[in-house]
């Protein structure tokens, strides 16, 4: 299965925070990703976004650097592919989606990628899920 993977899901794997329902969804997405022939596609900003969340969690002493380093190693071994065209669409389609649905440009980049590739999107972000419903993007 191919799908777009939002950072909100990935960080649940590391931080293990949130409701039982959110953690169960994140675990389900992880299970899908570990299946043979599964691939997650992420926008070009994904690694920077993930790094920022990890740095903030370390600063707040939620996780230690060694745990983040181990987590990065796990992510690098997963079938996660970074989209090389994110910047090409940033000031056009992505900006329009952000305006239309009142999303951050970062969140809109996930929606734009899912729409462009015709893929479902795995996210825990409620505003992004609302925009998905309005655009017909399926939840992974």
pLDDT digits (tens, 9 = 90+) for 41-66: 999 999 999 999 999 999 999 999 99
Decide if domain 2-135 falls under CATH 1.10.760.10. no
DSSP secondary structure of 72-99: HHHHHHS-EEE-TTHHHHIIIIIHHHHH
Can you give the residue ranges of every domain in the chain? Answer: 2-135
pLDDT digits (tens, 9 = 90+) for 60-108: 999 999 999 999 999 999 999 999 999 999 999 999 999 999 999 999 9
DSSP secondary structure of 3-70: EEE-HHHHHHHHH--S-HHHHHHHHHHHHHHTSTT-EEEE-TTHHHHHHHHHHHHHHTTSS-HHHHHH
**pTM for this one?**
0.95
């Amino acid at each position: 299965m191919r799908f777009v993977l939002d950072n909100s899901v990935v960080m649940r794997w590391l931080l293990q925070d949130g409701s039982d329902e959110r953690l169960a969804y994140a675990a389900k997405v992880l299970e899908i990703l570990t299946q043979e022939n599964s691939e997650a596609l992420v926008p070009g900003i994904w690694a920077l976004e993930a790094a920022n969340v990890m740095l903030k969690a370390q600063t707040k002493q939620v996780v230690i650097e060694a745990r983040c380093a181990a987590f990065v190693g796990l992510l690098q071994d997963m079938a996660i592919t970074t989209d090389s065209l994110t910047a090409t669409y940033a000031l056009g389609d992505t900006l329009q989606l952000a305006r239309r649905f009142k999303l951050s440009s970062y969140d809109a980049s996930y929606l734009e990628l899912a729409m462009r590739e015709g893929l479902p999107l795995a996210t825990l972000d409620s505003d992004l899920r609302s925009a998905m419903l309005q655009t017909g993007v399926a939840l992974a």
